[in-house]
Amino acid sequence: MPTPPTGRPGDHYAGFVPGTTTLPAGHRKRPQCRPLATDTICDRDIPISTRDGAILRADVFRPITSSFAHPVPALLVWSPYGKSGAGLLGLSFMPARAGIPESALSGYEKFEGPDPAEWVPRGYAVVNIDARGVFDSEGDVRVLGAGEGEDGADAVEHIASLPWCSGAVALIGNSWLAMATYHIAAQQPKGLKCVAPLEGASDFYRETLCRGGVPQPGFWYAVAAGFSGRGKTEDPAQVAGMHPDWNEYWEDKRVDFEKIRVPAYVLASFSTGLHTEGSVRCYEELRTAKWLTFHDTQEWYDLYSSKRNEELAAFFEHFLKGVDNGFEKTPKVRAALLGYNEPNLTDVDLEDWPAPQTEYTKLFLSQNGSLADSSPREAGTISYQSDIQSEQKDADGEEILFTHTFTKRSHLLGYSKASLYVSCPDHDDLDIFLQIRKADKNGAMLRSQNIPLSVLKMSQDQVPPLNILQYLGPTGICRASRRDLDEKLSKPYYPVPSLGKTEKIQPGDVVKLDIGIWPGGMIFEAGEKLVLKISGHPMTLAEFPQLWGSHKTENKGRHVVHFGGGTPSYVQVPFVEL
């Protein structure tokens, strides 16, 4: 598909201006921006050649002292969003700037990437690269996989060879930047010493475009609309429509983490609706030195926090500068559990992920909307209208609820799954959506605030119902015709769909669906409630305002959920003693 043109209002394109300038200490890009603390060399639009001859463009911000005699390591930042503050996608696009005031950043950072004003004084170069096809980088935009990985690997090796660089390069960033990090690192480029993927999906088809077999292209097209360039953009959503079954194209978009050979600082959160599964799979499947940290806020807000900067500085000092600072003694896994109506738990040390002490507990759907310790002898059913238009504002109807009340403080931490018996008398397929929620002792549904209200300067009622600002709970998705599981990828506690074939159901026939529910971390006190919600539409809050009401359902008529008797539907949840 055509890439949106460069130079649109709001894309902040500064023109093609190769050259080197010195930005003095105290310099501000704009009066409201963070000033630079030290003299900084800015190399604009440097060329980087790829193996097929395409020329990419990058901006480099580095210490004034960096030279052949005094080389510095580089933090390489890669995405199709624009470099050094350019691009339509940015914090100014987000409500309340996601709690990050313009005065906190220099304006030279790539969206979702580190700020040169923070890292140049620490003795690093920040290299912001426009991926292939973006602004003045030649070619067409590639979407992840080996193609983007090879381009990034060529960039790593080029930067490592420059006279001001010590030969040590790291990859860092949120979201796409983290996803690209996986694919670049899997190419094993010379000079890459470590990576810091700060939340990113790792299987673009299963986790983003077609989770549970249900096509959801809206988010992809919203993101791609923010690209700027002069060529075309690969369109995986269109490919999904033409080739929905798993094939080499989709395999290429799934990261093989065993190919990554460098140490990794892996960040994750439960609040994201996009990256949780990919982040934890990264940690689980890496075969190198690795650390997993869950934070309890939102990825952009966390990225620029002093806590994250200090931890990343220790990681980079150790693996890029060779400083013996004891970072290797950092706990391998640190979890965060969300309290919703009480303080969160953070930096909970675990021996591994998932936590070895996890107790998986089955809660069976039962009469009167309860979740019981055993399946009822008598069979029952409950139904909902499956084809309503969802707004994704936590106010949709036609959602059925099953509730478990706790008798003691409990901690849900890890993967959940559901085994449900369902039918649809009106259609030969059905899309089903699940969500685990927390309710207080009075049964009121709770939301977790991703960014402090004091920072947003809002009351909770004033916060827009968007997933970047508020988190509801872990979710699962399944299309009945795509219920076939991948035996190699599935685990006893987490089923993974193969997406390799389509098996329609007969209207009215009861079919068993095994549905993975993304990892979560939740605190429940005695008297509080775990609520399983089931519906025919997405129940997560939308990521962006323009996605409210955008989900196009393929459901028809009513869905019937069967429980008890010969159809023992249940949800399995992970409890951990802390």
pLDDT digits (tens, 9 = 90+) for 521-568: 999 999 999 999 999 999 999 998 999 999 999 999 999 999 999 999
Residue ranges, CATH 2.60.120.260, the chain: 359-575
CA 330 to chain centre: 24
* DSSP letter assigned to residue 4: P
- pLDDT confidence of residue 460: 86
In 24-113 the beta strands, taken as DSSP E runs, fall at: 40-49, 55-63, 72-79
CA torsion sign for 163, 266, 256, 78 is: negative
Q: How buried is residue 65: exposed, middle or buried, by Cβ count under 10 Å (0-12/13-18/19+)?
A: middle
What stretches of 41-98 show up as alpha helix (H) in DSSP? none
Tokens of 186: 């899997």
- Nearest by Cα to 365 from 531, 575, 576: 531
- Nearest by Cα to 452 from 351, 300, 301: 301
Instruction: Say how far apart CA 494 and CA 517 lie, in whole Å.
Output: 7
The highest-level CATH class for domain 359-575 is mainly beta
Q: CA dihedral defined by 173, 179, 180, 185, rounded to 10 degrees?
A: 90
- Nearest by Cα to 471 from 291, 272, 316, 332: 272
- Nearest by Cα to 119 from 327, 325, 260, 315: 315
Which residue's structure tokens are 């381009």?
Answer: 151
- pLDDT confidence of residue 95: 86
Residue ranges, CATH 3.40.50.1820, the chain: 19-330
CB 436 within 8 A of CB 416: yes
The pairing of beta strand 431-439 with beta strand 529-535: antiparallel
Whether omega for the bond prior to residue 244 falls within 30 degrees of 0, making it cis, is: no
Q: Which amino acid is at 74?
A: A
Residues 6+ apart with CB under 8 A from 417: 476, 493, 494, 495, 514, 515, 516, 517, 571, 572
Q: Which amino acid is at 118?
A: E
- pLDDT confidence of residue 91: 94
Instruction: Say how far apart CA 182 and CA 263 lie, in whole Å.
Output: 12
- pLDDT confidence of residue 94: 87
Tokens of 163: 């006279």
Conformation bin of residue 383: beta by default, left when phi > 0, alpha when psi is -120 to 50: beta
- pLDDT confidence of residue 444: 97
Instruction: Say how far apart CA 59 and CA 77 lie, in whole Å.
Output: 10
Residues 6+ apart with CB under 8 A from 270: 276, 294, 336, 338, 471, 474, 519, 520, 521
CB 314 within 8 A of CB 328: no
How big is the chain, counted in residues? 578
CA 294 to chain centre: 12
In 92-164 the beta strands, taken as DSSP E runs, fall at: 125-130
- Nearest by Cα to 225 from 235, 216, 215: 235
- pLDDT confidence of residue 423: 98
User: Measured between alpha carbons, how far is residue 379 from residues 197, 382, 421 in Å?
Assistant: 47, 11, 11
* Crossing angle of the two packed helices 176-185 and 276-285, in degrees rounded to 10: 20
Conformation bin of residue 96: beta by default, left when phi > 0, alpha when psi is -120 to 50: left
Q: Which amino acid is at 51?
A: R
Give pLDDT < 70 ranges for the chain. Answer: none
CB 571 within 8 A of CB 403: no
CB 297 within 8 A of CB 312: no
- pLDDT confidence of residue 190: 98
- pLDDT confidence of residue 293: 98
Residues 6+ apart with CB under 8 A from 326: none
- pLDDT confidence of residue 290: 98
Tokens of 385: 């209208």
CB 231 within 8 A of CB 224: no
Under CATH, which number does the domain 19-330 receive?
Answer: 3.40.50.1820
Q: Which amino acid is at 130?
A: D
- pLDDT confidence of residue 59: 98
Tokens of 128: 């912001």
- pLDDT confidence of residue 93: 83
Instruction: Say how far apart CA 463 and CA 211 lie, in whole Å.
Output: 27
- pLDDT confidence of residue 44: 98
Terminus-to-terminus CA distance in the chain, angstroms?
A: 50
